[in-house]
Amino acid sequence: DPADPPGMYRAQTSGAWLTGEMERRRLSNRELYCRLRTVGFGGTSENIVAQWRHDKAAIAPETLPLLLEALDIPGSDRGLWAQHFLHALHPGLADLILKYPTAPV
């Protein structure tokens, strides 16, 4: 849950996070890829979703807003999810990332 304080739970990879979100929504890799294409993702192969899920490719920060939209994460929660995603991606910037309030993505 993005509202939980950092460090409260074991950190998970972005692949584990994505897999969990997809399972909650019962989305296949293909379904998520199609949703991503609908919201403007330019990736050329649905295989990228499998690569993200298995941490074989990183989810680019510029892809995150499209991914949050494709997963139907409410707009009011997207800023918080982005904050936690970037915190996990760049732990050395934790103080800076978590210091400022989030704006909707």
What is the token pair recorded at 25?
């929504």
Instruction: From residue 103, give the alpha-carbon distance in Å to each of 4, 70, 97.
Output: 18, 19, 12
Mean pLDDT of the chain: 80
What is the token pair recorded at 83?
């904050």
What is the model's pLDDT at position 3?
Answer: 52
What is the model's pLDDT at position 8?
Answer: 45
Residue 100 reports pLDDT greater than 50: yes
What is the model's pLDDT at position 53?
Answer: 93
Kindly report, residue by residue over 59-85, the tens digit of the pLDDT: 888 898 999 999 998 887 888 787 777
User: How far is residue 11 CA from its own chain's centroid?
Assistant: 14
What is the token pair recorded at 45?
């192969």
d(CA 22, CA 14): 12
Contact between residue 14 and residue 87 where contact means Cβ atoms under 8 Å apart: no
